[in-house]
Amino acid sequence: MSDHQLIELDYDPLEYLDEGGMAQMVSQKGIGEQQVDAEMAATLELHEALSGCFTIVGPIAICYSRVGAGFKACLKLAGIEVTCVNIDPAHPCAKLEGNVLLAKASIQVCLEGKCLTYKAQACYRTTPFSKWKCVSKSGKIICF
């Protein structure tokens, strides 16, 4: 999809990830239980093998695959899958965060209507001692 917005940043918004472990997943549970949207579930049935990956910037990518009435979204940093989360109508948003030697990212992934969307802050560098290059990017991963 070409519906993406990329903004280069002149600071490192992910400095807090330098200190922590390699990855963490933060899920934002909705208030009360939501019923699965039958129309969306029927539409997803048509896409039995719906999956793919795309690059946010440099060595930072999001991979997704259809799981039941929702999606599994994973954060890949420098080719390493560092964390994954299931997103469905009952849990429509989750944050993926992680870092490796040359890349770090914090990505909010949401199921909005019939689209899987993202808002990312991502940083990468060419060597362990070079300065971080950071961007903010958002857009649609896939619509069905």
Min mean pLDDT across 3-7, 32-36, 47-51, 110-114 is at 32-36
Q: Are 73 and 63 in contact (CB under 8 A)?
A: yes
Residue 45: band (very low, low, confident or very high) from pLDDT cuts 50, 70, 90: low
pTM value surpassing 0.85 = no
> Are 122 and 92 contacting, i.e. CB atoms less than 8 angstroms apart?
no
Alpha-carbon distances, residue 16 vs 30, 46, 104 (angstroms): 26, 41, 10
| Tens digit of each residue's pLDDT (9 = 90 or more) over 113-136 | 889 999 999 999 999 899 999 999
Backbone angles phi, psi at 70, to 5 degrees: -145, -150
Instruction: Share the mean pLDDT of the chain.
Output: 81
Q: Are 56 and 62 in contact (CB under 8 A)?
A: yes
DSSP class of residue 132? P
> How far is it, in rounded angstroms, from Cα 20 to Cα 64?
25
